[in-house]
Amino acid sequence: MIVSRIAVIGAGAWGIALATQAARAGAQVHLWARRPETLTAERTLPRLPTAVLPASVTVTSAMPAQADAVLLAVPMQHLRAVLAHVPPAGPMVACCKGVERDSLALPLDIIADAHPDLPRAVLSGPNFAHEVAQGLPTAAVLACDDGGLARRLADHLTTPTFRLYASDDTIGVQIGGAAKNVIAIAAGATIGAGLGENARASLMTRGLAELGRLAEGLGGRMATLSGLAGVGDLILTCTGPSSRNFSLGLALGRGETLDSILGQRTTVAEGVATAPAILALARAHDIAVPVIETMSLLLAGDIDLPAARDRLLNRPVGTE
């Protein structure tokens, strides 16, 4: 039997979960940690105590030399800086969700800038790290322009409890992962402000329409957003209390300021930085995204919560 070699770049919650899953799938795993000392002697993250890294995972601050797949699991706004130090060890798989501020680049654009000749893919879906680490049943999508390669890369990680579907719609999958976090902040704010479950379900559905328009406008397929990387991740992130984006929205809705919420956290809520970036991307392509636009204004402090609510409720009612 050939044993896969999987490199994971980033030892935050998602990197630890993916390394654990790769080991579960039988791989030899190289886990690059910026600060290996943040892992305890028991090889767990203090804030992810259910995940104990298996023995086949080597944790190191050295970059991998060669791998069948390199899984990039660092926060989106640090991806470019980290990639500058990642050698061309093998096909690169973006596992982060977002749009880069200023450049408006999607994860695969950033990989292409760093390693133009390497195959690149994106992994996304409804995946809380703590559940993947525990081996609870999970599904996700792995997309690559080369659909055959997507399947082969997915096979390195797939087990009965981690079902990786293959896709060739890299744009749709990246847009789903990026935009759902902004909608999740909106869903959290809706619940936090006491606006009710009807409002949340409506926001999720109109948000899904924005994801679909964005995907199509940028060259992806609307149908992809009906799958795991779109509606699947929207459901999880807009309803799961352990979502960092949802809980940030919840606190905003209850009246806390963004600065105070972020000041209490060490973990990343990608929707905050991605909201203005994805709005700029939508405007550049003339795509209507009223929920994302409203959240971007709210997060920037340009409008307050009642104004955000009124902005959405007073829009002309169209057809569906």
Q: Which of 294, 287, 295 is nearest to 269 (CA)?
A: 295
Distances (CA, A) of 204 to 31, 91, 114, 184, 236: 35, 34, 35, 8, 11
Q: What type of residue sits at position 117?
A: D
To the nearest 10 degrees (0 to 180), the angle between helices 107-114 and 170-192 is: 130
Q: How far is the CB of 130 from ligand 13P (least distance, A)?
A: 10
Among 57, 76, 234, 238, binds ligand NAI (CB under 6 A): 76
Residue 12 site contact among ligand 13P, ligand NAI, none (CB < 5 to 8 Å, cut-off depends on kind) = ligand NAI
Q: Strand runs (DSSP E) across the chain, as ranges?
A: 5-9, 28-32, 57-60, 69-72, 92-94, 120-124, 138-144, 162-167
Mark residue 102 as left, alpha or beta (left: phi above 0; alpha: psi -120 to 50; beta: remaining).
left
Is 97 one of the binding residues for ligand NAI (CB under 6 A)?
Answer: yes
Rg (CA), the chain: 19
CA pair distance 28, 193, nearest whole angstrom: 47
Is 4 one of the binding residues for ligand 13P (CB under 6 A)?
Answer: no
The interface mask with ligand NAI, positions 150-189, x = CB under 6 A, is ----------------------------------------
Is 229 one of the binding residues for ligand NAI (CB under 6 A)?
Answer: no
Q: How far is the CB of 242 from ligand NAI (least distance, A)?
A: 8
Catalytic residue at 149?
A: no
Q: Which two tokens stand for residue 40?
A: 């305890």
According to the annotation, is 62 in a ligand binding site?
A: no
Q: What type of residue sits at position 139?
A: A
Q: Which segment (55-63, 90-98, 113-121, 276-284) binds ligand NAI by CB under 6 A? A: 90-98
Residue 167 site contact among ligand NAI, ligand 13P, none (CB < 5 to 8 Å, cut-off depends on kind) = none
According to the annotation, is 15 in a ligand binding site?
A: yes
Q: Which of 180, 200, 213, 309 is catalytic?
A: 180
According to the annotation, is 129 in a ligand binding site?
A: yes
Is 127 one of the binding residues for ligand NAI (CB under 6 A)?
Answer: yes
Q: Which residue has the tokens 């919650």?
A: 13
The interface mask with ligand 13P, positions 214-253, x = CB under 6 A, is -------------------x--xx-----xxx--------
Is 126 one of the binding residues for ligand 13P (CB under 6 A)?
Answer: yes
Q: How far is the CB of 198 from ligand 13P (least distance, A)?
A: 22
Q: Which residue has the tokens 């809380």?
A: 128
Under rule CB under 6 A, which residues in 4-33 are in contact with ligand NAI? Answer: 10-15
Residue 107 site contact among ligand NAI, ligand 13P, none (CB < 5 to 8 Å, cut-off depends on kind) = none
Supply φ then ψ for residue 88, to 5 degrees: -75, 70
Among 128, 175, 179, 297, binds ligand 13P (CB under 6 A): 128
Q: What is the DSSP string of 84-137?
A: TT----S-EEE------TTT---HHHHHHHH-TTS-EEEEESS--HHHHHHT--
In the complex, the residues that contact ligand NAI under the rule CB under 6 A are 10-15, 34, 73-76, 78, 82, 95-98, 127-129, 267-268, 270
Residues catalogued as catalytic:
180
